[in-house]
Amino acid sequence: MKELVIQNVFKDYKLANKEKFNALNDVNISFEKGELVSIVGESGSGKSTLMNLIGGLDSDYRGLISIGGKDLKSFKNKQLDDYRKKKIGFVFQSFNLISHLSVLENVTIPLTLSNIKESEKNKKAINLLTKLGLKDQIKKKPTQLSGGQKQRVAIARALINDPDIILADEPTGALDSTTTLQILDLLKDIADSGKLVIMVTHSERVAKISSRIVEISDGKIINDVVNQNYKRNTNSNNNLIDTNEKAKKDGHLSFFSSLKLSILNMWASKTKNFLMALGVSISLISMILMLSFGAGLTGYISTLAEDYSSPNYVTISKSDKDKDGNKIEESSSNPFIPKMFEENEILEIVDELNNTLSSNNNDFLINYQKENDNLTLGFSMMTMFSGTISYNTQDSKNESSIVYTYTTPPYYNENNFITKTGHISEENEIMLSYAALKLLNIEDPELAIGETVNLKINMNVFDTNITINKDVKISAIVDTSLFSNMLIMYVDYDFLNNCVKESQINEGISPTGLKPSLLFIKTDGKETTDLLNNYIKNYRKDLSGSIEEQLASMFSEMMSTFSIAMAIISGISLFVALIMITVVLYMSVSERTKEIGVLKSIGARKKDIHLIFSTESLLIGILSGLTGIIFSLILGGILSVILNSVLGFAPINMLWYYFIGALLISVTISVLAGLYPSSKAAKLDPVDALRHE
């Protein structure tokens, strides 16, 4: 029985306009093992077409091709892949080695596709390469080899699976005459070892050396001559492959091998891949940093809100809403002056709260303007451009502007916010924050206490400007983490009120004084405090809590806006990243079309190609994720240092699950981005892919 039988084979190529081109026209021929066949014919006569049919790269033909008695047509996809992998070895004119793999890796690729153990396949390949005189080249890349060496590597790759048939399409077409002879010798050795070698050639000299010459013209065999002078060398040591080594395994490309192939390929274009990872990581970095900043701020604010409240006090101010919670359009021209309470408003609030208390069976009563009163008035305002404190010593004059003027909340003493040796300011006294103290050039707070400074505030009270200009004593320094770095002056409400009245009289205005903007109610404990706070929160939207609480709620409002903005920005940038990865992978598929063709010709299944490209997109995802994480950590660290030196605190809280999340997101989008390019690669037609230049 003949090894390869071809009967009545026709091949038509479909052309664009439903026309057909007849490339093979009733081909009838058969071959035996041990033959070294030269196929000759003019360019375009159908030689490659015939080789592709025999090699199982193209199944679209009519007629019979049978190998070892089996009809090729009856093979399912899987069997056809197996056939290419184990029965056939391809050798091409342009070598078609994979440039980013070493000589050894190129030769072991067919074994890798069968999931043969690393040590076993290397041993086998090194044996073979040694016999082909390439022992010293195994670590080189194909570009570092001469043409003859490259073709011997390609032949080694074709031989490694011990195929029965070697198909060589113009194997010496790109070689000089000396090298051509060496390669021919090698092919002859292979044929003499009992394999069927079919090669396409243009060279008459080459053809003459073979055992049989078949001539094709216009898709027909017009000549078939056996070379009577051909001497078969039957020396047994011609065996290049140790066939008895191990039965051919039935494995497939493993994820691990695919990972290795992908890493090698990515390493070959590392700059491109690193830049892409950097591009993708930018969206991850911004996401991680924004989340960390959000978490840092939220955490910071919530500890502040805790620090600055007292379980024994309810603080009330006016909010920017009406009772129903709708925002009031600001009519006041001066945003620095807070909303003030009229006397009747205070009475009304006290009444309402007392009713609430009694209806909740709480015995506590708010007493206002009674003997044992437990409601203190307060005031706070921005004095950003109008308040200064000057401190004159014998040889220097130091000035600090005051950004905020605040009547001391009564619980500040209780919270230990005030330096121990000092006392809460009273008549003709003020307290200062650390930052304000520093500007006065007094480093030690102990030395500041009792010092006289000049206080000057221009303020607008009920639409008239007045100026307070007074010498006052520093009674204490207020040390709070929230306000220490701000320029703040704390004064007694009554004292501030008297100063205002005095200035009004000096300027000939009726002495109205200030009205309070803060109400502090001292309760009998936490339970009452919570009850009142909850009532105000739910039923009096026109009121809000302390400055600190307002700050906290303002921040949380900002944070939620910020989160939405962040989500949108991250979403867009991740989408951009997704498109970017898709484009890069898609380009990589077209760049590697030939490689895909080669892989298919040596038996890679669709699944294997898919796996290789999917693995690569997975790696890009991991690489981008890690790049993002590393840069986030670096940038977060730098940002923390900067914020710490500017603000005195760094509201950056990097939670471990942001990093896991970023990695997952990046892997997910990369894998998604890889879906289309991978399946495109898997679907490439091997013949087209091999023709690709």
Residues in contact with ligand ADP by CB under 6 A are 13, 21, 23, 41, 43-49
Residue 105 Cβ vs Mg ion, minimum distance, rounded to whole Å: 28
Query: For ligand ADP, which is the closer residue by CB, 41 or 410?
Result: 41
Report how far residue 380's alpha carbon sits from residue 483's, in angstroms, rounded to the nearest whole number. 14
Distance of closest approach, residue 691 Cβ to ligand ADP, in angstroms: 7
Residue 677 binding result from ligand ADP, Mg ion, none, given CB thresholds of 5 to 8 Å by partner type: none
- Contacted entry of ligand ADP, Mg ion, none for residue 43, CB cut-off 5 to 8 Å set by kind: ligand ADP
Q: Whole-number minimum distance, CB 53 to Mg ion, in Å?
A: 13
49 counts as binding Mg ion under rule CB under 5 A = no
588 interacts with, out of ligand ADP, Mg ion, none, CB within 5 to 8 A per kind = none
User: DSSP secondary-structure letter at 143?
Assistant: G
Residue closer to ligand ADP (CB basis): 43 or 237: 43
Binding range to Mg ion, per CB under 5 A, among 42-50, 153-161, 458-466, 485-493? 42-50
CA distance linking residue 626 with residue 52, whole number of Å: 44
Q: How far is the CB of 15 from ligand ADP (least distance, A)?
A: 6
Q: Which residues partner with 314 through β-bridges? A: 521
Alpha carbons 255 and 306: distance in angstroms, whole number = 54
Residue 23 interacting entry, from Mg ion, ligand ADP, none, C-beta within 5 to 8 Å by type: ligand ADP
Note whether 233 and 250 are within 8 A (CB): no
Does position 624 interact with Mg ion (CB under 5 A)? The reply is no
Q: How many residues bind Mg ion (CB under 5 A)?
A: 1
What minimum distance in Å lies between the beta carbon of 60 and Mg ion?
Answer: 18
Question: CA of 266: how far to CAs of 107, 269, 588, 693, in Å?
Answer: 20, 5, 10, 21
* Distance of closest approach, residue 51 Cβ to ligand ADP, in angstroms: 8
Residue nearest to Mg ion (CB): 48
45 binds, among Mg ion, ligand ADP, none (CB under 5 to 8 A by kind): ligand ADP
267 binding partner (options ligand ADP, Mg ion, none; Cβ < 5 to 8 Å by kind): none
Please give the Cα distance from 529 to 588 (Å, whole number).
67
Give the residue among 206, 196, 183 at the shortest CA–CA distance from 40.
206
Q: Which does 325 bind (CB under 5 to 8 A by kind): ligand ADP, Mg ion, none?
A: none
- Min dist CB 58 to ligand ADP, Å, is 9
Select 19 or 329, whichever has its Cβ closest to ligand ADP: 19
Question: Closer to ligand ADP at the Cβ: 33 or 220?
Answer: 220
> Which two three-digit tokens encode residue 215?
């001539």
Closest of 635, 627, 675 to residue 654, by C-alpha: 635
Point out which span in 48-56, 150-158, 431-439, 637-645 binds Mg ion (CB under 5 A).
Answer: 48-56
Q: Is 215 helix (H, G, I), strand (E, B) or coil?
A: strand
CA quadruple 439, 441, 443, 444: dihedral sign: negative
Contact 155, 91 (CB under 8 A): yes
| Least Å from the CB of residue 24 to ligand ADP | 8
Partner whose footprint covers residue 21, from ligand ADP, Mg ion, none (CB < 5 to 8 Å by kind): ligand ADP
Nearer to Mg ion (CB atom), residue 48 or residue 281: 48
Residue closer to ligand ADP by CB (options 21, 539) is 21
Is the Cβ of residue 220 or residue 456 nearer to ligand ADP in the bound state?
220
> Looking at beta carbons only, is 200 or 280 nearer to ligand ADP?
200
Residue with Cβ nearer ligand ADP (41 or 338): 41
48 near Mg ion, rule: CB under 5 A:
yes
- Contact partner at residue 44 from ligand ADP, Mg ion, none, CB < 5 to 8 Å by partner kind: ligand ADP
Q: Cα separation of 85 and 322, whole Å?
A: 80
> Per-residue DSSP letters for 337-395?
SPP---HHHHHHHHHHHHHHHHHTT------SSSTT--EEEE-EEEEEEEEEEEEE-SS
Hey, what are 575's tokens?
Answer: 């989408």
**In angstroms, what is the minimal distance from the CB of 608 to Mg ion?**
26
Residues forming beta bridges with residue 519, ordered by sequence position: 316, 377
State the nearest-atom distance from the C-beta of 568 to Mg ion, in Å. 56
Nearer to ligand ADP, 60 or 557 (CB): 60
Q: Which is nearer to ligand ADP, 140 or 220 (CB)?
A: 220
Binding at 361: pick from ligand ADP, Mg ion, none (beta carbon under 5-8 Å per type): none
Sign (positive or negative) of CA dihedral 441, 443, 444, 445: positive
Beta-bridge mates of residue 390 = 399, 454
d(CA 605, CA 594): 15
CB neighbour burial string for 186-225, b if at least 16 within 10 angstroms, e if fewer = bbbbbbbbebbbbbbbbbeebbebbbbbbbbeebebeeee
To ligand ADP, the closest distance from the beta carbon of 191 in angstroms equals 21
Q: Which residues neighbour 447 within 8 Å (Cβ) at sequence distance 6 or greater?
A: none
Question: Where does this chain bind Mg ion (CB under 5 A)?
Answer: 48
